[in-house]
Amino acid sequence: MRWNSQTTQYTALAVLFSLMILFPNQASSKTPDWNNEQDSMKSAIGLHYGNLAGHGVSFRVPLKWWLYAQIGGGIWHTSENERHNVGFELNYILRQDDKMRLFLGAGLGNFYHNELVGHSGDDEIWADDSNWNVGAGVGIEYLMGVRWAVQAEFDFAHTGENGDIKVAPQLGVHYYW
């Protein structure tokens, strides 16, 4: 099996989900609740995979109680393959109960890929690809345990690769503090 950036991302998400299930947060016996006024759990850090909000580490911060901003991205470089991306997304909360949020999301992401494709004498030939994605959709976020949350979105994204509008799922896992 050849390890590439996508394999690494899926492996990282699988390991994180496994750790959440195997080792639930037992430091606190309180029930998880986003509406708790004493512990509002506003900001978060986590991993995200998507065509709008980026692949890699992500940060979530509230702009208002009903509006969140998320920025994410990552860098994966080898001697023959360079990739980096950054994405920004806004989430408008439609409904929130103690464990689940339903939201609308809109985002913008830039993805860059530079790959060595061959040699011409002593010169290297690199294929360069950079594209912007923009889109919007609907998502849910579910609070698992006291501080961990998983996020799933289904967005319609206009990709810069060929200009098509396609369904682009996004996944994330975040730790709130």
pLDDT of residue 1: 44
Tokens of 127: 């294929």
- pLDDT tens-digit profile, the chain (177 residues): 455 556 666 666 666 666 555 555 544 446 778 777 777 788 999 999 999 999 999 999 999 989 999 999 999 889 889 999 999 999 999 999 999 999 999 999 999 999 988 888 888 888 898 889 999 999 999 999 889 999 999 999 998 767 789 999 999 999 998
End-to-end Cα spacing for the chain: 37
Query: What is the pLDDT at residue 34?
Result: 76
Residue 24: per-residue pLDDT: 53
The Cα 82–Cα 1 span in angstroms is: 20
pTM beyond 0.85, yes or no: no
**What pLDDT shows up at residue 4?**
56
What's residue 92's pLDDT? 98
Is the Cβ–Cβ distance between 117 and 125 less than 8 Å?
A: yes
Cα–Cα distance measured from residue 108 to residue 158, given in angstroms and rounded to the nearest whole number: 10
